Chain A
Amino acid sequence: MLSQAVVNGLIAASTYLLVALGFSLIYTTSRFFHFAHGAVITLGAYLAYSINSQAGVPLLGAAVISVFFCGLLGVLMNHVVYNRLLRKGAGSLVLMLASFGIYLIFENVTTIIWGASTLGFSPGLPSSICKWHACITRIHILTLAIAAVSWVFLAILFARSRHGLLMRAVAESRELATAYGIKTHEIVDASFFIGSAFAGLAGILMAADVGMTPTMGLHALMMGVVVAIVGGIGSLRGLLLASLLVGLVRHLSIFVVGSQWQDSIVFALLLVVLLKSPWGFASDAAAQEV
């Protein structure tokens, strides 16, 4: 029983991590909570579904195209809304409110286009592999692998590449980076592209597992935000630890307290972290200033 619960926790953690990676990547360069990220998650799944079933592209190809479009969508949101707001001197609260608005628009457009009931890539009986009293499906293994690869990719990007260095510079101070001749707009766009692509990827993987609904992105995003804050935004190691913590807490707490408190426990954890050390347990110089 315990082995299954731990596996469940790990599977959940991998999707939280994917969402949180994109979310916090965008936060590090643009310094606001981009809630429309949830809409990108949902749209990633639905786009892949339509490209796959309506245009007849094989699922893998459809997923790649959809992830690319999600990246573009993120950049588009940045250009059409956020950049204009920034130019007028908007602060992080205004940008966050605007992202609420964008989320609302996208969720409802999705419902109008695709309907409210569940759609899925692979209807029917899932086949699973069981060992040591724990069962797992191929999609779960794929999700775990992709989450791990994405984390390593970002770690290398940040630590080794020139592009990652520029991102870190922008994260430290946008004004200073501009003063040094860094094209900050391009860097922010890049982070929106990569972050939103991760969101689309997470959406597709979740939909491949349990199907898609227009509200799927919101719940995934909530968990992603909790992970991002508990882990300390901007710290990759923190995100990894926090996603494991939140995933395991969600799946193990049910054996201790009633399942109706599953969400409460996660948000109580968030509250404690916020009050004790707002920058999460893996602190990061840039986040501490908040």
Chain B
Amino acid sequence: MRRCAVLPALFLIVIMVIAGCSNQQEQKKSERSKATVKELLIGAVLPLTGDAAPWGIPPKKGAQLAADEISQKGNLKIKIDFQDTTCQPARGISAFRQLADVYKIPVVMGAVCSSVTLAIAPVAEKERVVLISPASTSPKISSAGDYIFRVVPSDALRGRIFARYLFKKKGLRKVAILYINNEGGVGNRDSFKNEFTSLGGKVVLEEAYPPQSRDLRAQLTKIKNSNVDGVIAVSYPDDTILIMKQAAELKVGKPFFYQTEAVEDPSVLKQAGAAANGAIYILPAPAEGEAARAFAQAYEKRYGTKPELFAAEAYDIIHLVVKAAEANGGRLEAEKVRDYLYTVKSYHGVSGIISFDSNGDVIKPMAIKIIENGKPRLLEIVGLE
């Protein structure tokens, strides 16, 4: 038994040595980046691994594309240091601290998961680092602080616009809400319900299901037998497939309205197939015009797929940050970036038309789309008006 102690100890020492070496390399890299004047180092904290990775990897790709494009133009060289949060608050803080404290980076893109953004926000405030999220939609982030921005609309905005649209244009009066029982699902449920009931509509049923469910037949059966005009679903891609297929099997016979962009996920369109037809959903309005088309082409050329969720938002973040730096004589300073972002009005980005309100929340028009013959079709663009 005693002899065996050597093995694990050796194993650990080897790991630590490897870690130490790569650590030093990283540090050298960052020192070098400080040496050249025209190089900008931007941080990013994203869930690059784990369950939320499908939402973390596209922003990484989008941001990298933006950085390389700007670097090619010559004036500035953009480098992005990506760190993994795994969608866990404590890990997120580790990642953020590494960027903010170890590498002294003044602007960090992230996070994706709202819980991580909320956990990082107080640290960012205290360390005076600008935090710009490409994907966190929790209404609570609005009041998270002065240095906290996002280019994705809050769930509060989405729910309000969707409720108004369905009440006025679709004539819904009594609805059921079927939602994933996590922070995103509940946030969307509340924002929809508040607006819908204040308009005079009624939420008859609220059915929850836990993440990673494989059986929603109980919830759907209850909905089938309720007297509602339509069903509002807040779901992730895996369970969107489940809702579509099982609702068809059970012949629920009510129109489904998805308050989520998950419907456009390739796996949903493939796996749900014809069961997806007729699904109406809301998402931030896609940008039109030359820049957006060029982005989509460049993205597809480089990565072989159409831009996935939140890739365009990350692309816009990098561009906005660089614009802020250029306005400041090519230097990246947190206060200057923050002040610049508050002045941004109707910036035509590739993720839509971006303006920030006094909370650092983006105000964007939203799009209502429908799936027809397995393909998304735009119904209309709606704003808050």
Contact = CB atoms under 8 A, between A and B. Distances in A.
Interface of A: 1, 4-5, 8, 11-12, 116-120, 123-126, 128, 130, 135, 137, 206, 210-211, 213, 215-216, 218-220, 250-251, 254-255, 258-260, 262-263
Interface stretch (B242-250, B351-359, B362-370): B242-250
A259 B208 contact: yes
Contacts of A206: 214
Given A116-B51, A259-B207, A12 B215 contact: yes
Contact of B181 (A118, A215, A260): A260
| Interface of B: prevailing SS | helix
A118 B238 CA distance: 6
Interface size class of B (residues with CB under 8 A): 35 or more
B265 A4 contact: no
Contacts of A210: 214-215, 241-242, 245-246
Nearest to B374: A124
B241 A211 contact: yes
30 contacts: A1-B222, A4-B221, A5-B218, A8-B217, A116-B53, A117-B54, A117-B237, A117-B238, A117-B265, A119-B271, A120-B271, A123-B270, A123-B271, A123-B272, A123-B273, A124-B273, A125-B273, A125-B275, A128-B250, A130-B251, A135-B251, A210-B241, A210-B245, A211-B241, A211-B242, A254-B219, A258-B206, A259-B207, A259-B208, A262-B210
B245 to A, nearest CB: 6
B36 interface: no
Nearest to B186: A260
A262 B218 contact: yes
Contact of B208 (A118, A137, A258): A258
B212 A126 contact: no
Contact of B214 (A124, A126, A219, A254): A219
Nearest to A9: B218
B209 A259 contact: yes
B222 A255 contact: yes
B158 to A, nearest CB: 22
B257 to A, nearest CB: 19
Contact of A11 (B217, B225, B238): B217
B250 A4 contact: yes
B267 interface: yes
A262 B216 CA distance: 11
Interface string B34-58: 0000000000000000010110000
Nearest to B210: A263
B250 A215 contact: no
Contacts of A8: 217-218, 221
B203 interface: no
A126 B218 contact: no
Given A5-B221, A123-B271, A262-B218, 20 more contacts: A117-B237, A117-B238, A118-B241, A119-B267, A124-B273, A125-B245, A125-B273, A210-B214, A210-B241, A210-B242, A210-B245, A210-B246, A213-B238, A220-B214, A250-B218, A251-B221, A255-B222, A260-B210, A262-B209, A262-B210
A219 B222 contact: no
A213 B211 CA distance: 12
A9 to B, nearest CB: 8
B218 A128 contact: no
The 7 closest A-B pairs by CB, nearest first: A124-B273, A260-B208, A125-B274, A1-B225, A117-B267, A8-B217, A251-B218
